[in-house]
């Protein structure tokens, strides 16, 4: 099994910055993709940024402000958040897709709250 643990959320003023971290742990596995989603309410989660085969994709609403980078040796994915807006307020979830023997498996972290407010 794979576990994802997020950290780095908090309260920040508009225009401020935060760095979110997602640490992956568990048995040996091969990552197909890894990224961040966010949710303001209900059960719908919006894709923020995902890295996988072919490169990194960003939601249009965060391009130029949020960026992904990773430390492969520590299995940690970071989301650098700059020029934050009030509409970025949400619970941010780390997500990973792991290639298994016969199919892929999805994993979600517990989420970390990001609040952008003056």
Q: In sequence order, what are the beta bridge partners of 33?
A: 52, 97
- pLDDT mean over 8-21: 98
Q: Quick one: which of 84, 94, 91 has its CA closest to 61? A: 84
Residue 72 neighbours by CB under 8 Å, 6+ apart:
none
Q: Is the pLDDT of residue 66 over 90?
A: yes
- Give the tokens for residue 104: 């892929």
Q: Which residue bears the tokens 């970390």? A: 112
Confidence at residue 43, expressed as pLDDT on a 0 to 100 scale: 74
Q: Is the pLDDT of residue 26 over 90?
A: no
Q: Which residue bears the tokens 């989660």? A: 45
- pLDDT mean over 55-77: 92
């Amino acid at each position: 099994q794979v576990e994802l643990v997020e950290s780095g959320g908090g309260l920040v003023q508009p225009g401020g910055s935060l760095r979110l971290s997602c640490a992956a742990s568990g048995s040996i596995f091969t990552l197909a993709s890894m990224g961040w989603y966010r949710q303001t309410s209900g059960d719908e989660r919006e894709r923020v940024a995902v890295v996988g085969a072919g490169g990194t994709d960003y939601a249009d609403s965060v391009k130029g402000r949020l960026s992904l980078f990773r430390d492969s040796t520590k299995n940690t994915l970071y989301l650098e958040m700059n020029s934050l807006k009030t509409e970025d307020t949400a619970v941010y979830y780390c997500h990973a897709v792991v290639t298994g023997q016969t199919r892929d498996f999805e994993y979600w972290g517990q989420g970390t709250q990001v609040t952008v407010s003056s």
